[in-house]
Amino acid sequence: MSSAEAATAGPRKFRFAAGGEGNAEEGGARKFIKLAQQAEELGYDSFMIPDHLGNQVGPIAALGALAVATDKIRLGTAVLANGFRHPAVLAKDAATIDVLSGGRLELGLGAGWMREEYDKAGITYDRPGVRIEKLEETLEILDVLLRGQECNFEGKHYTITGLKGSPRPRQGPRPPICIGGGGPKMLALAAKYADIISVVPSTSKEGKLLLSGMTIEKTLERVELIRAAAGDRFDDIELNWAITTIVVTDDREQMAEMALAALDNGYPPNVDVDVKLTVEDILSSPYLAFGTYEEIADQIRNVRARTTMSYVGVFPTQMEAFAPVVDLLKGE
C-alpha cells in the first residue's frame, strides 16, 4: 500500500486482544479454556498466551487445545522466547496449530528477556546482541518453512539443510508474525520482518518497566523509529500495544493523582520511576486507561490518531472490565 493509498483508506480498524496464562490465579488449566471461550463471546478478536517457564500453561500445547475449543477468535503467543525452541521445531508446531485452528494463528516472537528462567532451566542466556542475532535467523527460517517451502539456511547460530515446511499452513502466504520490542535494535528488526509489532515500554537492566517509556511522547518516538526502519512497508504493519491498567471511574483526574501517589510509594513494584510525570502524562499514556467507558474509548481513539497504533491488548484480569469499551469501538 502506498502512502497515498493509506491516507485515502484512513486509519486501520481497531482490533482487540485478550489473554491468559492458565495459572492458579486465573483458575488453572481447566478454566483457561473457558477464559478463551469467554473472550470469544465478549467480542475480542484474538486470545494471546505468554511464554514463561513459571506459573503458566505451556503455550504451544495450550494453543493446540484452544484450536479445537474455539471457533472464530484468533489465537497467538505474546510472545514466545526464541531461546526456548529451535526454529525448525517451532515452525512445525506453528504450522500444525494454524491447520488445526482453521487458519487462526498469530505467531508472536521475542528475543527472550527473563534471565532468571533461563538460569533455573540451565538454558544459555546470551548477551542481548546474540539473542537478537538468533531471533533474526529464526525469522528468516520461519518465513520459508511457514510458506511450506524448502529451507536451506546457513547462519551463525542455525543451519537448516533441505527441510521442507509441513504441514502447509491454512493462511497464505504464511501466518502473520508479531514481534514485541521497545528498544531501537528490536524495533528495527521488527520493522524488517514483522506483520504486527507490539510496541512496549523500555525496561531497566533489572527488567522493570521504565515510567518514562509509558508516555505518549516516548511511544511516538518508538513508532517513528519503526516508520523510518520499515520504509515503504510501514503501512502494511499493524501496531499493537497492551494496556497495563484499566480503572473505570467517574473522576479520571483524581485516579491519575492516586496513581502518581502510588508510584511515589513504590507501587507497582515492576515499574522503575525514572521521571516525574504529570496528571496529563498519566491520562494521555497509551498504557493506562482511567475514566468512564466512553472516556476510555475516546482516549484509545486519540492514541490511534496520534500514533497509528490500532491493535489493543488487555491482561486476563481486565478482560471483562474492558469488554464494554470493545463494544463501543468495534468496527471503527
DSSP state of 203: B
Distance CA 209, CA 202 (A): 6
Distance CA 230, CA 218 (A): 18
Given the DSSP bridges, would you call strands 238-243 and 196-199 parallel, antiparallel or unpaired?
Answer: parallel
Please state which of the ranges 25-29, 61-65, 235-239, 284-288 shows the lowest mean pLDDT: 25-29
Which of 43, 39, 41 minimizes the C-alpha distance to 19?
39
Give me the mean pLDDT over the 152-162 stretch.
Answer: 98
pLDDT (0 to 100) of residue 270? 84
Interacting residues of 150 by C-beta distance below 8 A, sequence separation 6+:
144, 162, 163, 164, 165
pLDDT (0 to 100) of residue 4? 43
Percent of the chain with pLDDT over 70: 97
For 39-69, the pLDDT digits (tens) are: 999 999 999 999 999 999 999 999 999 999 9
Distance CA 241, CA 310 (A): 8
Residue by residue, DSSP assigns 122-189 as T-----HHHHHHHHHHHHHHHHHHTTT-EEEEE-SS-EEEEEEP-SPPSSSS---EEEEE-SHHHHHH
pLDDT (0 to 100) of residue 24? 86
Query: Mean of the per-residue pLDDT values for the chain?
Result: 94
CB atoms within 10 A of CB 218: 19
pTM to 2 decimal places: 0.94
Contact between residue 59 and residue 50 where contact means Cβ atoms under 8 Å apart = yes
Distance CA 115, CA 320 (A): 32
Map grid coordinates 524495533 to a residue: 187
